[in-house]
């Protein structure tokens, strides 16, 4: 029942967006905002072309590596800061202030260090994702009620059993929130990276289309990214809700 | 009202138990805090012992030291003749004041939790869990998650989780503190039922004088910090009792006597929080 209602909600949202798009098209004109219908026609004709697939693969690869780094480093730092009080007291405010910085200002530095290839974009994506993952993991570990630890001791659990059967499941829902937000901002970082000083990837395609005033191509890439991000977010949200027993 | 003569067998013993929390200058505790003791107490096997005292008097510290969750600064604790320290011995079950049910497990799995981790055979786990769930009146909620239950129900889950391990000494740390008065009376009946059926020794920490007077064989009245027993009162209730004894004259006498002893201590505890820095020499 809730599944059908959720599907209906999604459908209404999508229809609403297309209508809004059509209105914007009428106001802004053909060059700025091509019509939904012509864009969809363009999408159908160009999505399967080798050029599009090559760019899609590049972005996918960069995102994959960036996520691996962001999740790996973020989780490790988060567990460390959450479990060790002094490290947390020192590290957390630093992470919070870093999180609020506009990281795009550091992109030139990233480029100078990692070069113009794929690694620069991976690093820039990971730079975005690592902070929310670390911060929310720290929070997740701190939020574990201390009584769980005492209960574990009275239930005769070994330290290893306590970690795997109490601490891990207790922290998991909030850690997953971190992974979900981390995913969104890592994707943002990778795309931003591709938009500047890059010839490959979906971000570069958008900028290229902008310069050639190819509205349909621009919107096609946007739709693909929109669909991908929404799908991935929905999937992660689904897992998160299952973990939280909502 | 004399209790039937039971052979007195010491089940747990505290000798000169003292707990002093050291000063932690960085974390706001500039002076060491003498929380408890010295306390000497013998818990008799099978008795129901209640500890009452003003808030902050060290009742919970007392329970944690007895359970082996904290080491005493001085003195010794023994359970069934063996010294307790550093870890919780097999045979002691604890129910905490806070909700300690695990939200990611169903009621059934919460109750089975301790058994499964301790390598009990699956058929035996099933038998014991179903028994404990039925006993605590959770049969219809076995598949529910704690978030779907009321606070009282969750506390029952925690009691059932302790019960399946068949503890011989059950420690209850204000388990009904967060519940309303009527629910507390009913939960009191359940604890009495549990005590009679398991034959375990029960130690209940509470701040409610009526709860102590209604449930316990003996009541230890604890002073303001550092917590010491200023009087131990035997209630003389028959083993087969329930919450209806709150109507008896003796019940009023016991609560009256407890309050007489604890009134000045409670006043001290009230003042303590405000002027403790000045009062500490």
- Asked whether B155 and B98 are in contact (CB, 8 A), the reply is no
Mean pLDDT score, A207-234: 89
**Which tokens go with A142?**
């701190």
Which residue reads 């179903």 in tokens? Answer: B130
Asked if residue B111 belongs to a domain, the reply is no
Q: What is the pLDDT of residues B100-129, one digit of tens each?
A: 999 999 999 999 998 877 778 888 899 999
Q: How many CB atoms within 10 Å of residue B35?
A: 22
Q: Which of A230, A160, A197 is nearest to A10 (CA)?
A: A230
pLDDT of A31 over the 90 cut: no
Q: How confident is the model at residue B7 (pLDDT cuts 50, 70, 90)?
A: low
For residue B65, the enclosing domain spans 8-90+203-273
- Residue B266 domain-assigned? yes
Q: Does position B277 have pLDDT exceeding 50, yes or no?
A: no
What's the confidence (pLDDT) of residue B35? 84
Which helix (H) or strand (E) segment is B171 a member of?
Answer: strand B169-173
**Number of neighbouring beta carbons within 10 Å of residue A204:** 22
CATH number reported for the structural domain that contains residue B257 in this entry: 3.40.50.300
ipTM attached to this prediction: 0.83
Share the mean pLDDT of chain A. Answer: 89
- Asked whether B211 and B184 are in contact (CB, 8 A), the reply is yes
Report helix, strand or coil for A68: helix
Interface with A, mutate which of B60, B93, B95, B114 (most A CBs under 10 A): B114
Residues of B in contact with A150 (CB under 8 A): 64, 69, 94, 96, 100
Task: Give CA A28 to chain center in angstroms.
Answer: 30
| 8 Å CB contact of B100 and A165 | no
Q: Is residue B262 part of a domain?
A: yes
**The pLDDT of residue A125 is above 90:** yes
Alpha carbon B117 to chain centroid distance?
Answer: 24
- Cα–Cα nearest to A200, from A220, A172, A221, A174: A221
Burial A150-186 (b: 16+ CB within 10 A, else e): bbbbbbbbeeeebeebbbebbbbbbbbbbbbbbbbbb
Nearest to B97 by CA among B72, B139, B70, B60: B60
Which H or E element spans position A224? helix A215-244
The number of helices, as runs of H, and strands, as runs of E, in chain A is: 11, 0
State the DSSP string of A92-126: HHHHHHHHHS-GGGGHHHHHHHH-SSHHHHHHHHH
Residue B218: inside a domain = yes
Task: Indicate yes or no: CB of A154 within 8 angstroms of CB of B88.
Answer: yes
For B39-51, write each residue's pLDDT tens digit. 898 999 999 999 9
Q: Is residue B85 included in any domain, yes or no? A: yes
Count Cβ atoms below 10 Å from residue B268 Cβ, excluding itself: 15
For residue B42, tell me if it sits in a domain.
yes
Residue B278, pLDDT above cutoff 50:
no
Check A243 against B104: CB less than 8 A apart: yes
Query: Is A149 part of the contact surface with chain B (CB cutoff 8 Å)?
Result: no
Q: Which residue of B has its CA nearest to A246?
A: B147
Which pLDDT band, with edges at 50, 70 and 90, does B241 fall under? confident
Distance CA B200, CA B159 (A): 13
- How far is residue B29 from each of residues B5, B187, B259, measured CA to CA in Å? 48, 37, 32
CB of B229 closer than 8 Å to CB of B210? no
Instruction: Kindly list the residues from chain B whose CB atom is less than 8 angstroms away from the CB atom of residue A145.
Output: 98-100
Pairing between β-strand B48-52 and β-strand B10-21 as defined by DSSP bridges: unpaired
Express each pLDDT in B180-202 by its tens digit: 777 788 888 888 988 998 889 99
Q: Is residue A172 less than 8 Å (CB to CB) from chain B?
A: yes
- Tell me how many domains chain B contains: 1
CA distance B51 to B41: 12
Q: Give residue B276's pLDDT.
A: 46
Closest chain A residue by Cα to residue B95 = A151
Residue A166, chain B, CB below 8 Å: the answer is yes
Count the neighbouring beta carbons within 10 Å of the beta carbon of residue A117: 11
CA–CA separation, B44 vs B48, rounded Å?
9
CA angle B275, B18, B93 (to 5 degrees): 110
Closest of B136, B13, B21 to residue B83, by C-alpha = B13
Give the model confidence (pLDDT) of A45-60 as tens digits: 888 889 999 999 999 9
Residue B139 lies in a domain: no
Q: Report in angstroms the alpha-carbon separations of A87 from A79, A83, A90, A244.
A: 11, 8, 5, 28
For the domain made up of A47-244, the CATH class stated in words is mainly alpha
Identify the pLDDT of residue B140: 92
For residue A151, the chain B residues in CB contact (below 8 A) are 94, 96, 100, 158
What is the mean pLDDT of the segment spanning B238-245? 82
> Which residues of chain A have a CB within 8 Å of the CB of B162?
154
Cα separation, B214 vs A84, in Å, equals 45
Residue B268 has pLDDT above 80, yes or no: no
- Indicate the residue of B99, B100, B117 with minimum beta-carbon distance to A165: B117
């Amino acid at each position: 029942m809730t599944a059908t209602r959720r599907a209906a909600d999604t459908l209404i949202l999508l229809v609403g967006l297309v209508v809004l798009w059509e209105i914007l098209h009428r106001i802004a004109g053909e060059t700025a905002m091509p019509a939904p219908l012509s864009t969809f026609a363009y999408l159908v004709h160009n999505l399967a072309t080798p050029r599009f697939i090559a760019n899609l693969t590049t972005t996918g690869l960069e995102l994959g590596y960036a996520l691996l780094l962001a999740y790996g480093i973020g989780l490790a730092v988060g567990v460390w800061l959450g479990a060790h009080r002094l490290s947390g007291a020192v590290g957390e405010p630093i992470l919070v202030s870093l999180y609020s910085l506009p990281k795009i200002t550091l992109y030139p530095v990233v480029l100078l260090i990692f070069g113009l290839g794929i690694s620069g974009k991976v690093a820039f994506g990971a730079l975005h994702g690592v902070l929310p993952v670390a911060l929310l993991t720290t929070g997740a570990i701190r939020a574990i009620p201390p009584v769980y630890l005492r209960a574990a001791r009275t239930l005769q659990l070994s330290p290893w059993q306590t970690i795997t059967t109490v601490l891990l499941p207790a922290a998991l829902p909030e850690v997953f929130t971190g992974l979900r937000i981390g995913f969104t901002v890592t994707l943002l970082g990778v795309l931003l990276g591709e938009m500047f000083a890059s010839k490959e990837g979906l971000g570069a395609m958008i900028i290229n289309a902008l310069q050639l005033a190819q509205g349909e191509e621009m919107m096609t890439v946007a739709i693909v990214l929109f669909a991908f991000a929404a799908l991935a977010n929905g999937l992660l949200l689904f897992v998160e809700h299952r973990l939280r027993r909502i | 009202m004399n209790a039937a003569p039971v052979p007195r067998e010491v089940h747990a013993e505290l000798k000169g138990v003292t707990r002093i929390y050291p000063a932690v200058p960085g974390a706001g505790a500039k002076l060491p805090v003498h929380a408890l003791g010295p306390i000497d107490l013998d818990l008799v096997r099978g008795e129901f012992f209640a500890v009452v005292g003003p808030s902050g008097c060290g009742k919970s510290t007392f329970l944690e030291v007895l359970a082996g969750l904290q080491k005493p600064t001085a003195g010794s604790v023994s359970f069934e003749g063996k010294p307790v320290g550093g870890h919780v011995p097999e045979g002691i079950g604890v129910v905490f004041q806070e909700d300690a049910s695990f939200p990611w497990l169903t009621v059934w799995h919460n109750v089975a939790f301790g058994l499964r981790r301790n390598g009990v055979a699956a058929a035996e786990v099933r038998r014991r869990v179903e028994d404990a769930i039925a006993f605590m009146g959770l049969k219809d909620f076995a598949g529910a998650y704690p978030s779907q239950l009321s606070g009282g129900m969750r506390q029952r889950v925690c009691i059932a989780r302790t019960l399946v391990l068949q503890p011989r000494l059950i420690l209850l740390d204000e388990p009904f503190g967060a519940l309303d008065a009527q629910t507390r009376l009913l939960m009191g009946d359940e604890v009495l039922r549990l005590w009679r059926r398991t034959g375990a020794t029960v130690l209940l920490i509470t701040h409610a004088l009526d709860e102590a007077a209604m449930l316990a064989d003996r009541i230890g009245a604890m002073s303001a910090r550092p917590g010491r027993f200023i009087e131990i009162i035997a209630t003389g209730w028959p083993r087969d009792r329930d919450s209806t004894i709150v109507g008896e004259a003796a019940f009023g006498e016991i609560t009256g006597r407890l309050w007489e002893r604890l009134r000045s201590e409670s006043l001290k505890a009230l003042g303590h929080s405000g002027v403790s820095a000045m009062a500490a020499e």
